Amino acid sequence: MITSEESRRAKLKLKGNKCLHCGATVQEAIARRGTVKNKFEFNHADPSKKHPRYKALIERKTFSTELLDELDKTYLLCVDCHRTLHAQHIRGRASMSFQLDGLRLNANCTGQVVADWVDRKFTFFSAQDVYTDAYYVQIGDAEPVLQFGQTLKDNFDKYLLGTKVTGQLRVYTYDMKEVFSAVKLSETDLELTHSTTFSLIPVKITDPKVGTIWMRGGWTVFQNGTSSRNGTLTVQATYPVESEKVASQ
Ligand SMILES: [Zn+2]
């Protein structure tokens, strides 16, 4: 069993190991203070999504889907910046437009702002996720087509189920590294290969030998909080049973 301090550090690592506003790092906190306790906090950009028993949940040492889902809703801040954010209570709205090779993605986000009026530094914490990474998506034998992560995420289930007809779905990064594939094996089975770096689609695998493993946010995470940036997982899976709605169409 890991200690409370080890568990805290494991969670901070998944959130980037530094305060997103002032840049204070976990490494420096450990060097100076010997502990990260009471130094960093997770901020919910949309407080209405905060778990009703957040305090008990975030202190759990064993990692679970519930805990990782909660961390996904947060940004890492040092305690000082977190208090400043709540004291300033500045709400913000951001309109963003991303363009790449003729593709365009517009996003309107609401969120919180923490401001440093001397350094003129403002950090915006969006309450909505916007997936701006671009991927080449190959359906069947067709030429790979460039898509923003947002489009891929919105259509992912359809593409995946579509491999029953198309035979395969492959996803490559912008520089053409394959990060995901789904290949039809039979009418009921498919083979999924998922790289840790493909952070768009969270994965949970339960293995009798190693327990539960999650791949999400660019990390592979184990139940004891150990995490890694590397790795590719290949599993044989069963097609989801089509819902009545889909079947009746
Ligand atoms: Zn800070």
pLDDT digits (tens, 9 = 90+) for 175-231: 999 999 999 999 999 999 999 999 998 889 888 887 899 998 899 999 999 999 988
Question: Is 211 in the same domain as 139?
Answer: yes
Question: Is 147 in the same domain as 237?
Answer: yes
* Centre of ligand 1 from the C-alpha of residue 9, in Å: 17
Can you read off the two tokens belonging to residue 160? 């995946």
- Compute the distance between CA of residue 167 and CA of residue 164 in angstroms, rounded to an integer: 6
* Centre of ligand 1 from the C-alpha of residue 202, in Å: 28
pLDDT at 241: 67
- Compute the distance between CA of residue 76 and CA of residue 42 in angstroms, rounded to an integer: 5
* Centre of ligand 1 from the C-alpha of residue 215, in Å: 28
Question: Is 240 in the same domain as 161?
Answer: yes
Residue 20 counted as domain residue:
yes
Please give the tally of structural domains in the chain: 3
- Compute the distance between CA of residue 58 and CA of residue 68 in angstroms, rounded to an integer: 9
* Centre of ligand 1 from the C-alpha of residue 114, in Å: 10
Grade residue 248 by pLDDT with cuts at 50, 70 and 90: very low
pLDDT at 240: 79
* Centre of ligand 1 from the C-alpha of residue 89, in Å: 16
* Centre of ligand 1 from the C-alpha of residue 46, in Å: 19
pLDDT at 88: 98
Residue 55 counted as domain residue:
yes
Question: Is 240 in the same domain as 193?
Answer: yes
* Centre of ligand 1 from the C-alpha of residue 61, in Å: 24
Question: Is 105 in the same domain as 153?
Answer: no
Q: What is the pLDDT of residues 110-159, one digit of tens each?
A: 999 999 999 999 999 999 888 989 999 999 999 999 999 999 999 999 99
pLDDT at 211: 86
Given 105, 126, 147, the domain boundary residue is 126
Residue 249 counted as domain residue:
no
Question: Is 118 in the same domain as 153?
Answer: no
Residue 120 counted as domain residue:
yes
Question: Is 62 in the same domain as 116?
Answer: no
Containing structural domain, residue 177: 134-244
- Compute the distance between CA of residue 242 and CA of residue 248 in angstroms, rounded to an integer: 10
Among the listed residues 126, 147, 128, 129, the one whose alpha carbon sits nearest the alpha carbon of residue 137? 147
pLDDT at 208: 84
Question: Is 166 in the same domain as 223?
Answer: yes
**169, 186 in Cβ contact below 8 A?**
no
Q: What is the pLDDT of residues 3-54, one digit of tens each?
A: 999 999 999 999 999 999 999 999 999 999 999 999 999 999 999 999 999 9
* Centre of ligand 1 from the C-alpha of residue 77, in Å: 5
Residue 38 counted as domain residue:
yes
For range 152-175, the mean pLDDT: 96
- Compute the distance between CA of residue 88 and CA of residue 124 in angstroms, rounded to an integer: 13
Question: Is 68 in the same domain as 118?
Answer: no
Residue 239, number of CB atoms within 10 A of its CB: 17
Q: What is the pLDDT of residues 51-78, one digit of tens each?
A: 999 999 999 999 999 999 999 999 999 9
Residue 173 counted as domain residue:
yes
Residue environment code for 130-139, b if the CB has 16+ CB neighbours within 10 A, otherwise e: bbebbbbbbb
* Centre of ligand 1 from the C-alpha of residue 136, in Å: 37
Cα torsion for 125, 135, 72, 124, to the nearest 10°? 0
pLDDT at 249: 35
Contacts of 153 (CB under 8 A, 6+ apart): 131, 200, 201
pLDDT at 245: 42
Among the listed residues 202, 205, 197, 199, the one whose alpha carbon sits nearest the alpha carbon of residue 234? 205
Q: pTM for the whole thing?
A: 0.87
* Centre of ligand 1 from the C-alpha of residue 22, in Å: 4
Question: Is 225 in the same domain as 210?
Answer: yes
For range 82-92, the mean pLDDT: 97
